[in-house]
Chain A
Amino acid sequence: MIVSFPPLAFILLFPLLGFLFNVFLGARRGRGAVNLIGPAAIFIPFGIALVAFVKLLTLPSGSVLSVTLWPWIYAGRFHADFALQMDALSALMTLVVSGVGAFIHLYSVGYMAHDDDFARFFAYMNLFALSMLTLVLANNLLLMFVGWEGVGLCSYLLISFWYTNAQYAYNGRKAFIVNRIGDAGFLLGIFTIVSALGSHGIWSLDFATLRDNIHLLTTATATTAAVLLFIGATGKSAQIPLYVWLPDAMVGPTPVSALIHAATMVTAGVYMVARMHFLYTLAPSAMELVAMIGAITAIFAASIAMVQPDIKRVLAYSTISQLGYMFLGVGVGAFSAGIFHVMTHAFFKALLFLCAGSVIHALDGEQDMNKMGGLRTKLPITYATMLIATLAISALPPFSGFFSKDLILESAYNSGHTGLWILGIITAAMTSFYMFRLIFMTFHGDSRVDSTKAHHIHESPQVMTIPLIVLAVMAVIGGWVGLPEGVLWGNKISQFLAPSVGNFTPVLQGGFVMLTGTSLGLALFGILLAWYFYIQAPGMPYLIAYQMQSAYNVLLNKYYIDQLYNLIVTRPLFWVSTFVLGRVVDTFMIDGIVDGAGLSVQTGGQLSRRIETGNVQQYAFVYVLGVLAIVAYYLYLVTH
């Protein structure tokens, strides 16, 4: 049932107004106005989203709120409207984006309090909110792509926010270009779908139309389209092989890392796969690919996270790893489980980043965990909330991560992907290890803080701690909407999402206790290991790193993937650009055409100026010749 619900448009309007205000008037109106309007531009949409969500709950299951704003593209028979829709999936994503986003905006007020460029910051943040909400509310694939590109742009703008640092600007460009590679795949996927459906007379990309007509595609076409779209997802959601931009994206302000590179934008790929679930179900081999990439990325990134010294980089690799879980979930057909993990991950990972930001803020920009330690007593709120988030990401009950991660692992096991399940539970152990390593290195033990910074360590102001507390509450209870089937109210979220992403009922098999027990046991093992290494025997990590130096270096240098890409992609590209395109094509062909155009005009002018002597008598002579010729012609006519 489709219900018209015009207020949906206001969800986009307020971030747009906020963006316009901040970009044109923000710097002039001062910090007070920006600090009010920046967060308000996302808090109001959050309120509207809540209203819409409640309305959606009152309607029968499977209802869709929608509004068509204006006709957008009408080219031949193809048409796409600027239209929004909110079904269960969009509602959940909108709530997460606007809700988590709202509190991160609030946190930013405190975090950016000492930065002079606050207006530009909030302008970008509002623009991001606008793009991300467009992405999740779009009712067709093309409008979704607009949002998809918009968030990529904002990501670039915010990564290189402190653009005077050349390295930061470079990292921004890297993110943009890597994303562009993925987006090319996404576009090709759209083209594949359009041309395949067009040959059957379907010239629309509305999700509803796609869903009803997708069976017209052959398996081969569906697989091609699904894989191409997934390439887009690997770019945006930082999966192998296009994940390399995300760790470098950490140079942006920390609220940006929390909002864009943890909670919302990077989950766009998972959202897209869930949104296009009807396509993926038609292409089982593409699903296999998604699940495999997800699982491999999960363990790969987790292994790197175990040795990184930079607090934000640990979290970045952790994000990549968790995104891998989500793709594992959607890849094995548990679309609602993947989206469930998107939600819980948004809570606890945003919280982790904000806590890390609070630590960095307190230590005046220090990000190296080797120069932290013992902050537990000085930053009590940050410590408590970060511990909650860590317990959540380590998937301990009753914290939110437990329910979503377990649902994914269960689904992987029950769908027969035992190998991927094993990768998943090993990753779970690694996850709890590196997260508790982070906690222990940052908050426990002796202080290793530089003496210059030690004296002014302070807990963050309330405007920063309140978002931490709110998100901590959500990180605890957020998972309770998806209890295992048969426990209390059961898996509400999967039931809620079923109309959008297809029915999914994890069969509660006898192995449930075994599965949960195994992953839980491994998670606890990881925690114990971290405790032993970083509290009990602080010398151990160095000893192990020393004894397994080569393995340690491989991990520390992130498997040399950046260097590998540099060697096989960047260097050849530079070589081709410099020597083939620059020295040959540009010098001879492009310049040749341009210079040739000028030269031919010049030569023509030089030649024709000879006629224009400026001597009137010569002109008159030619004129007389002409007259004589005409007279001769007429005489000839008369006489013949």
Chain B
Amino acid sequence: MNIAYSWVMALSAAIFAIGVAGVLIRRNILVMFMSIELMLNAVNLAFITLARRMGSMDGQVIVFFVMTVAAAEAAVGLAIIISSFRNRETINADELNLMRW
């Protein structure tokens, strides 16, 4: 079954837009974090699609890098979130304002 590349790209853009909206709108850090993952995966999808379209392996290789970074980021990010929750008992971004003026 062949699906037109443009459809897949449109899906990728849609997922990315959902991710962006999630980061901008939601105040829960965990959700924001998941939205970032969403954006990363949307980008992955776009990479793979274009790699297949161009007949090149480069895009697929990049995806592995992105996944590596995403895994590392998830580890660090989750650790920060947990420790911040332990200290402040909240994961609401608006309440984590210690560094603001």
Which A residues lie at the B interface, using CB under 8 A? Answer: 609, 612-617, 620-621, 624
Do B23 and A614 touch (CB < 8 A)?
no
Please give the distance in Å from A153's CB to the nearest CB on chain B.
54
Cβ proximity bits B58-101 to A, threshold 8 Å, 1 near / 0 not = 00000000000000000000000000000000000110010111
Q: Which residues of A contact B30 (CB under 8 A)?
A: none
**Which of B24, B99, B100, B101 interacts with A621 by CB under 8 Å?**
B24
Contacts of A624 in B (CB 8 A): 20, 24
Closest to B23 in A: A620
Known pairs A615-B100, A617-B24; list 16 more (Cβ under 8 Å). A609-B101, A612-B101, A613-B100, A614-B97, A614-B100, A614-B101, A615-B94, A616-B93, A617-B27, A617-B32, A617-B93, A620-B23, A620-B24, A621-B24, A624-B20, A624-B24
- Considering the complex, give the chain A residue whose CB is closest to the CB of B21: A624
Bound complex: CA A10 to CA B41 (Å)? 89
Do residues B100 and A617 form an inter-chain contact, with CB atoms below 8 A?
A: no
CB distance from B74 to the nearest CB of A (A): 18
List 21 A–B pairs whose Cβ atoms lie within 8 Å, in order of A's numbering. Answer: A609-B101, A612-B101, A613-B100, A614-B97, A614-B99, A614-B100, A614-B101, A615-B94, A615-B100, A616-B93, A617-B23, A617-B24, A617-B25, A617-B27, A617-B32, A617-B93, A620-B23, A620-B24, A621-B24, A624-B20, A624-B24
Smallest CB separation, A13 vs chain B (Å): 64
Report A200 CB to chain B, min CB distance, Å: 69
Q: Which residue of B lies closest to A609 (CB)?
A: B101
- For residue B15, give the distance in angstroms from its CB to the closest CB of chain A: 15
Q: Nearest chain A CB to B69's CB is how many angstroms away? A: 19
- In the assembled complex, the CB of A163 is this many whole angstroms from the nearest CB of chain B, namely 53
> Which chain B residue has the least Cβ–Cβ distance from A614?
B100
| Cβ contacts under 8 Å, B97 to chain A | 614
C-alpha spacing A621/B32, complex, angstroms = 13
CA distance A75 to B100 in the complex (A): 57
Cα A613 to Cα B101 with chains together (Å): 8
Q: Write the residues of chain B forming the contact surface with A, with a CB cutoff of 8 angstroms.
A: 20, 23-25, 27, 32, 93-94, 97, 99-101
**Smallest CB separation, B32 vs chain A (Å):** 8
Question: Shortest Cβ distance from A429 into chain B, in angstroms?
Answer: 88
Least CB distance from A640 to B in Å reads 22
Shortest Cβ distance from residue A610 to the other chain B in the assembled complex, whole angstroms: 11
Cα-based distance from A613 to B100 in the complex (angstroms): 7
Q: Which residue of chain B is the closest to A617 with respect to CB atoms?
A: B24
Question: A288 → chain B, closest Cβ, in Å?
Answer: 78
Q: Which residues of B contact A614 (CB under 8 A)?
A: 97, 99-101
Closest to B97 in A: A614
In Å, the complex CA distance between A624 and B39 comes to 13
Give the CA-CA distance A617 to B20 in the complex, in Å: 10
For the complex of A and B, 7 pairs with smallest distance between CB atoms: A614-B100, A621-B24, A617-B24, A624-B20, A620-B24, A620-B23, A614-B101
**Chain B's nearest CB lies how many Å from the CB of A606?**
12
Collect the chain B residues with CB atoms within 8 Å of residue A620's CB.
23-24
Residues of B within 8 A of A616 (CB): 93
CA distance A244 to B30 in the complex (A): 88
CB distance from B2 to the nearest CB of A (A): 27
Residues of A within 8 A of B20 (CB): 624
CB contacts (< 8 Å) of B23 on chain A: these are 617, 620
Please give me the residue from chain A that is nearest to B17 by CB atom: A624
Complex: how many Å from CA A620 to CA B23?
8
Least Cβ distance of A605 to chain B in Å?
Answer: 11
Residues of A within 8 A of B94 (CB): 615
- Give Cα A621 to B23, complex, Å: 9
Q: Measured between C-beta atoms, what is the minimum distance from A615 to chain B in Å?
A: 8
Minimum CB distance partner of B20 in chain A: A624
Inter-chain CA distance A624–B25, complex, in Å, is 13
* Residues of chain B within 8 A of A615, CB atoms compared: 94, 100
Complex CA gap A57/B20 in Å reads: 102
What is the minimal beta-carbon distance from B26 to any residue of chain A, in angstroms? Answer: 9
In the bound assembly, the distance between CA atoms of A624 and B23 in angstroms comes to 11
Q: A621 to B22, alpha carbons, bound, how many Å?
A: 11
A624–B93 alpha-carbon span in the complex (Å): 19
A349–B5 Cα distance when bound, in Å, is 114
- Please measure, in the bound complex, the distance between the C-alpha atom of A624 and the C-alpha atom of B32, giving whole angstroms: 15
Chain B residues within 8 Å of A609, by CB = 101
Contacts of A613 in B (CB 8 A): 100
Closest A residue to B100 using CB positions = A614
Chain B residues with Cβ under 8 A from A621's Cβ?
24
Cα of A620 to Cα of B19 in the assembled complex, Å:
12
Residues of A within 8 A of B32 (CB): 617
Roughly how many angstroms separate A624 CA and B22 CA in the complex, as a whole number? Answer: 13
Which residues of A are found within 8 Å of B100, using beta-carbon distances?
613-615
Q: Closest approach, in angstroms, between the C-beta of B78 and any C-beta of chain A?
A: 18
A238 to B32, CA, bound (A): 88
> Inside 8 A of B101's CB, which chain A residues have their CB?
609, 612, 614
> Cα distance A617–B21 when bound, in Å?
10
B36: min CB distance to chain A, Å: 10
- Residue of chain A at shortest CB distance from B24: A621
CB neighbours (8 Å) of B99 from chain A are 614
Give CA–CA (A621, B26) in the complex, Å.
12
Interfacial chain A residues near B93, Cβ < 8 Å: 616-617
Smallest beta-carbon distance B31→chain A, Å: 12
Chain B min CB distance to A625 (Å): 10
Least distance between A340 CB and chain B CB atoms (Å): 82
Q: Give the shortest distance, in Å, between B84 (CB) and chain A (any CB).
A: 14
Bound CA–CA A621/B101 (angstroms): 20
Within the assembled complex, what's the spacing in Å between the Cα atoms of A621 and B20?
A: 9
Q: How far is the CB of A614 from chain B (nearest CB, A)?
A: 3
Which residue of chain A has its CB nearest to the CB of B32? A617
Distance from A126 Cβ to chain B, minimum over Cβ atoms (Å): 62
Q: How far is the CB of B67 from chain A (nearest CB, A)?
A: 23
Complex alpha-carbon distance, A615 and B92, angstroms: 12
Complex CA distance for A612 and B100, rounded to whole angstroms: 9
Q: How far is the CB of A245 from chain B (nearest CB, A)?
A: 61
- Distance of A620 Cα from B21 Cα, bound (Å): 10
Tell me, in angstroms, the Cα distance from A613 to B97 when the chains sit together.
Answer: 10
Question: From residue B6, how far is it (CB to closest CB) to chain A in Å?
Answer: 16
A331 → chain B closest CB, angstroms: 77
Contacts of A612 in B (CB 8 A): 101
In angstroms, Cα B93 to Cα A615, docked, is 9
Closest to A612 in B: B101
Residues of B with C-beta under 8 A to A617: 23-25, 27, 32, 93
* Shortest Cβ gap from A378 to chain B (Å): 85
* Bound Cα distance A616, B27 (Å): 11
CA of A553 to CA of B37, assembled, Å:
104
C-alpha gap A609/B101 in the complex (Å): 9
Nearest CB of B to A607, in Å: 14
> In the bound complex, what is the Cα–Cα distance between A616 and B99 (angstroms)?
11
